[in-house]
C-alpha cells in the first residue's frame, strides 16, 4: 500500500511539473527576456529579481525531477541534459546574488540572458519531447501546416510591436506589424515600411528569425529537434512529415529531414562568408557581418528582405558583382528543393565511388530532379535573354553591373526571391509582363520558392501537348511514362491558380478604386504576393488597409500552397462509387 501510494505521489508530482510549473517558468523567463530586448534594453530591478527567482526555482525543480525519476536509458539521458542546464543556471544565479546589482553592465546583462535562455531552451525541449501526444491525434497534415504558420505569424506580429523593434520616433501599427510578419514568415519580401529605415537592428533580427523559420517551416524544425535531442520519430510523425516535405519513403524521413536542415544552414553560412568578403573593407566588421548573414538567409529562403535602404540597388553595393552572383546562386539553390539537391548529391557520390572502384551500382537521377533542372535552366537563361531584349533592345532600362548581369538577375529574382538591383519603377512595360510570367511559374516543390511551381507548368504543358496531338503513348519524359492523372492534376492546379488570381484581382480593384493606381501595377503587386516574390513597383506602402489585408491573405495562401489550403478546407467525398451509367459531353 505504501509503495503504491509513493508511486502515485511521484506520478502526481511529475504531472504537476509537466503541466503547471514548466510552462510558468518558461513564461516567466520569456517575459524577462522580451522586456529586456523589446522595451528596457537594460536590466531593471524587477527583471533582476524575477530572473533570479525563475533560475533558482528551475534549478531545484529540475534536480528534484531528476532525483524522483526512476526510468533508465533514453529518458534518463534526456533528463541529464536538463540537469546540466539546471546546474549551470544555478551557478550563474548564485553569482548574481553574490555580486552587487549593476543593471547597465554588459557582463551582468549577459548572465541574466543566459539564465533566461537556459530556462526557455529547457522548456522548449520538454514541449518537443511531448509533441507526439499532439501529433498522434488525427490532424490533417494541411491543418498542421496552416496552424503552425499562422501561429508563427501571430507571434511575429506581437514581437514587431515591441517599441525597440523600430527606430526612435517611429511607431509600427498592428496592420503594418502583421503585414511584415506575414511577409517574413511566408518568405515574400513585400514591405509597407522600409526595413533599413524603419526597423531597428532588434526588429531586423526578429525579421531574420521569422524568415528562417518560415523558410524551413516550424514543423520541420520541431521534428528535427526531436530527432537530434530525443529518440526520433514515431510512425505517425513520419507519415505526417513525409506529406509535408514531399517524401514518400518513410525509411528516409529522418535522413531527408537532417539533410534539409544541415544543407540550409551550411549553404547559408557559405553564402554569408562570400558576401562578407565581397563588401567594402572600410565598413565596420560587425556591420558587414550582420548585412552578410541577413542577406544570405534572405536570399536562400527566397525572401527578398534587405537591410539596405534601396535593396541591392543601394550605393554600398553598386556594380558589386560578387554580391549579385552569390545572391543569384543562393536564390536558385534555395528554390530547387531539398529533394532535388539531395538526389544530385547522391548522384555525385555514386559517380565518385564508381570512379574510385568502391561501388558498381549506378545512381540514376529521378525524373522529378531532371524536370526541375531542365525547367530551371530554361526559365533562368531563357528568361534572362528575353529580359535582355525587352529591357535593353526595346527599352532604355537601368542597369547595375552590366546589361547581361542585370537581365540575368531580374530573371533569377523573379523566381520568388524579390531582390532588385535597379529601381523597379524604371523598368520597361514589356519587362514587367515577362517578370509577371516568371513570378507566376515560381520555383520548384520542396524548396523555399513560391508560385505554381516549375513541375506543375512542365507537366501541365506536356499533358496539354499530348492531348492536342491525341497521342496514344501518353506523356513520355526521359524514357519514363508520366501518369495521365499527374498531367491532368497539373492543368487543374494552373486553372485553380488562374481562378484565384482573377477573383482576388477584382477585389483588389474594388479596394483601390479611389487610389488611381493602374491595373497593371495592381496585378503585378497581387502576383508578387501570391507567388511570394516580393518585387514591387513602389506600390505596397501606398495601398489601403483593405488592399494590404488582401495581400496578407495571398501571401499566406501562396506560401502554404493553394491546393493544400483547398484540400484542407473542403470536406473529403467519402461516398461510394455510384455505378450510374456514363454519358459523353460535347467539348467542341
Secondary structure string (H, E, C) spanning 294-347? HHHHHHHCCCCCCCCCCHHHCHHHCCCHHHHHHHHHHHHHHHHCHHHHHHHHHH
Distance CA 51, CA 36 (A): 11
What CA–CA distance (Å, rounded) separates 271 from 265? 10
State mean pLDDT over 128-154.
72
Residue given cell 481562378 in the structure block: 499
Does 554 have pLDDT greater than 60? Answer: yes
- Say what the pLDDT of residue 174 is: 94
Q: Is the pLDDT of residue 138 over 70?
A: no
pLDDT over 50 at 3, yes or no: no
- What is the rounded distance in angstroms from the CA atom of residue 256 to the CA atom of residue 86? 33
- Please check whether residue 230 is in contact with residue 128, taking contact to mean a CB–CB distance below 8 angstroms: yes
Q: What is the pLDDT of residue 440?
A: 93
Q: Where does 193-284 have alpha helices with state H?
A: 195-198, 201-216, 218-229, 235-244, 253-277
Structure confidence at residue 557 as a pLDDT band (50, 70, 90): very high
Query: Is-contact 48 96, C-beta < 8 A?
Result: yes
The mean pLDDT of 178-205, rounded to a whole number, is 93
Query: How far is residue 325's CA from residue 354's CA, in Å, rounded to a whole number?
Result: 33
CA 39 to mean position of chain CA atoms = 27
One DSSP character per residue, 7-38 reads HHHHHHHHHHIIIIIHHHHHHHHHHHHHHIII
pLDDT at 6 over 50: no
Among 126-140, 373-387, 500-514, 521-535, which stretch is predicted with the lowest mean pLDDT? Answer: 126-140
Q: Residue ranges of the domains in the chain?
A: 1-130
Strand, helix or coil for residue 477:
strand
Closest CA to 60 of 90, 95, 21: 90
Quote the CA–CA distance of 478 and 129 in Å, as a whole number: 44
Name the 3-class secondary structure at 137: coil
Confidence of residue 77 (pLDDT cuts 50, 70, 90): low
Residue 247 near residue 338 (C-beta atoms within 8 A): no
Q: Band of the pLDDT at 525, cuts 50, 70, 90?
A: very high
Q: What is the largest CA-CA distance in the chain?
A: 92
Question: Could you give the CA distance from residue 453 to residue 439 in angstroms, rounded to a whole number?
Answer: 10
533: nearest Cα among 551, 546, 515, 545: 551
pTM of the model: 0.89
Q: What is the pLDDT of residue 220?
A: 65
CA pair distance 183, 149, nearest whole angstrom: 12
Q: Could you read off the pLDDT of 197-215 as tens digits, one per residue?
A: 999 999 999 999 999 988 8
- In the prediction, which pLDDT does 75 show? 60
Percentage of the chain with pLDDT > 70? 85
> How distant, in Å, are the alpha carbons of 191, 223, 388 from that of 130?
37, 11, 55
Angle (nearest 5°) at CA 292 between 408 and 257: 85
Among 99-113, 123-137, 204-218, 363-377, the least confident range? 123-137
CA distance 65 to 227: 23
What pLDDT digit, counting tens, does each position of 328-371 carry?
Answer: 999 998 888 878 888 888 888 888 887 777 766 777 888 889 99
Mean pLDDT of 427-440: 93
End-to-end CA distance of the chain: 84
Q: Which of 87-91, 100-104, 311-315, 484-488 has the lowest mean pLDDT?
A: 100-104
pLDDT by residue (tens digit) across 42-69?
888 888 899 999 999 988 888 877 776 6
Indicate if the pLDDT at residue 504 is higher than 60. Answer: yes
Q: What's the pLDDT at 4?
A: 47
pLDDT in tens, 395-422: 988 999 899 999 999 999 998 888 999 9
> CA angle 529-534-538, nearest 5°?
100
What pLDDT, on a 0 to 100 scale, did the predictor assign at position 526? 95
pLDDT value at residue 556 = 93
**In 3-state terms, what secondary structure has residue 557?**
helix
Residue 232 has what pLDDT? 54
Q: Please state, in angstroms and rounded to a whole number, the distance separating the CA atoms of residues 85 and 59.
A: 8
215 — phi, psi (to 5°)?
Answer: -70, -45
Nearest to 526 by CA among 439, 460, 405: 439
Task: Compute the distance between CA of residue 151 and CA of residue 155 in angstroms, rounded to an integer.
Answer: 6
- Tens digits of residue pLDDT in 265-274: 999 999 999 9
Q: pLDDT band for position 225 (50/70/90)?
A: low
The per-residue pLDDT for 529 is 94
Which residue(s) pair with 199 in the sheet?
Answer: 166
Characterize the bridge pairing of strands 475-477 and 480-482: antiparallel
User: Mean pLDDT score of the chain, rounded to an integer?
Assistant: 84
Strands, E assignment, 32-143 = none
Amino acid at each position: 500500500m505504501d509503495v503504491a501510494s509513493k508511486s502515485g505521489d511521484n506520478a502526481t508530482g511529475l504531472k504537476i511539473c509537466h503541466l503547471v510549473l514548466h510552462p510558468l517558468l518558461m513564461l516567466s523567463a520569456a517575459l524577462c527576456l522580451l522586456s529586456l530586448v523589446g522595451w528596457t534594453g537594460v536590466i531593471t530591478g524587477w527583471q533582476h529579481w524575477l530572473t533570479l527567482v525563475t533560475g533558482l526555482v528551475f534549478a531545484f525543480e529540475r534536480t528534484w525531477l531528476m532525483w524522483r525519476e526512476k526510468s533508465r536509458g533514453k529518458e534518463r539521458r534526456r533528463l541529464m541534459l536538463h540537469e546540466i542546464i539546471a546546474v549551470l543556471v544555478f551557478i550563474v544565479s548564485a553569482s548574481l546574488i553574490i555580486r552587487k546589482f549593476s543593471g547597465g553592465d554588459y557582463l551582468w546583462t549577459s548572465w541574466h540572458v543566459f539564465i533566461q535562455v537556459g530556462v526557455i531552451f529547457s522548456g522548449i525541449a520538454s514541449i518537443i519531447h511531448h509533441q507526439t501526444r499532439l501529433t498522434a491525434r488525427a490532424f490533417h497534415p494541411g491543418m498542421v501546416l496552416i496552424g503552425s504558420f499562422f501561429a508563427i505569424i501571430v507571434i511575429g506580429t506581437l514581437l514587431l510591436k515591441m517599441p525597440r523593434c523600430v527606430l526612435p520616433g517611429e511607431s509600427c501599427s498592428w496592420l503594418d506589424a502583421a503585414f511584415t510578419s506575414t511577409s517574413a514568415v511566408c518568405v515574400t519580401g513585400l514591405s509597407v515600411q522600409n526595413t533599413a529605415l524603419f526597423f531597428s537592428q532588434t526588429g531586423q533580427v526578429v525579421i531574420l528569425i521569422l524568415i528562417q523559420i518560415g523558410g524551413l517551416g516550424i514543423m520541420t524544425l520541431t521534428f528535427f529537434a526531436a530527432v537530434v535531442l530525443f529518440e526520433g520519430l514515431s510512425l505517425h510523425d513520419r507519415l505526417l512529415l513525409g506529406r509535408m516535405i514531399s517524401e514518400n519513403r518513410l525509411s528516409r524521413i529522418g535522413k531527408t529531414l537532417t539533410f534539409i536542415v544541415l544543407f540550409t544552414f551550411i549553404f547559408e553560412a557559405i553564402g554569408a562568408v562570400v558576401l562578407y568578403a565581397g563588401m567594402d573593407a572600410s565598413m565596420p566588421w560587425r556591420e558587414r557581418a550582420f548585412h552578410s548573414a541577413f542577406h544570405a538567409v534572405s536570399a536562400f529562403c527566397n525572401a527578398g528582405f534587405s537591410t539596405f535602404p534601396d535593396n541591392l540597388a543601394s550605393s554600398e553595393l553598386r556594380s558589386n558583382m560578387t554580391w549579385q552572383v552569390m545572391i543569384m546562386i543562393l536564390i536558385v539553390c534555395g528554390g530547387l528543393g531539398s529533394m532535388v539537391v539531395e538526389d544530385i548529391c547522391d548522384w555525385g557520390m555514386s559517380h565518385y565511388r564508381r570512379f574510385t572502384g568502391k561501388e558498381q551500382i549506378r545512381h540514376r537521377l529521378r525524373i522529378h530532379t531532371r524536370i526541375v533542372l531542365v525547367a530551371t535552366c530554361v526559365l533562368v537563361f531563357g528568361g534572362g535573354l528575353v529580359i535582355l531584349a525587352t529591357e535593353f533592345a526595346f527599352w532604355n532600362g537601368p542597369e547595375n553591373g552590366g546589361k547581361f548581369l542585370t537581365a540575368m538577375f531580374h530573371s533569377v529574382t523573379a523566381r520568388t526571391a524579390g531582390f532588385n538591383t535597379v529601381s523597379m519603377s524604371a523598368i520597361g512595360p514589356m519587362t514587367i509582363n515577362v517578370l509577371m510570367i516568371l513570378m507566376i511559374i515560381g520555383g520548384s516543390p520542396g524548396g523555399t520558392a513560391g508560385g505554381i511551381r516549375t513541375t506543375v507548368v512542365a507537366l501541365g504543358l506536356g499533358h496539354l501537348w499530348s492531348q492536342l496531338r491525341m497521342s496514344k503513348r501518353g506523356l513520355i519524359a526521359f524514357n519514363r511514362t508520366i501518369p495521365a492523372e499527374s498531367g491532368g492534376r497539373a492543368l487543374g492546379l494552373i486553372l485553380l491558380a488562374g481562378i484565384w488570381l482573377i477573383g482576388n484581382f477584382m477585389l483588389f480593384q474594388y479596394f483601390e478604386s479611389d487610389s488611381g493606381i493602374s491595373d497593371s501595377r495592381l496585378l503585378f503587386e497581387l502576383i508578387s504576393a501570391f507567388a511570394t516574390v516580393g518585387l514591387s513597383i513602389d506600390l505596397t506602402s501606398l495601398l489601403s488597409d483593405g488592399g494590404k489585408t488582401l495581400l496578407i491573405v495571398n501571401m499566406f495562401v501562396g506560401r502554404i500552397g493553394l491546393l493544400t489550403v483547398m484540400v484542407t478546407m473542403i470536406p473529403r467525398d467519402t461516398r461510394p462509387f455510384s455505378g450510374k451509367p456514363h454519358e459523353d459531353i460535347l467539348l467542341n
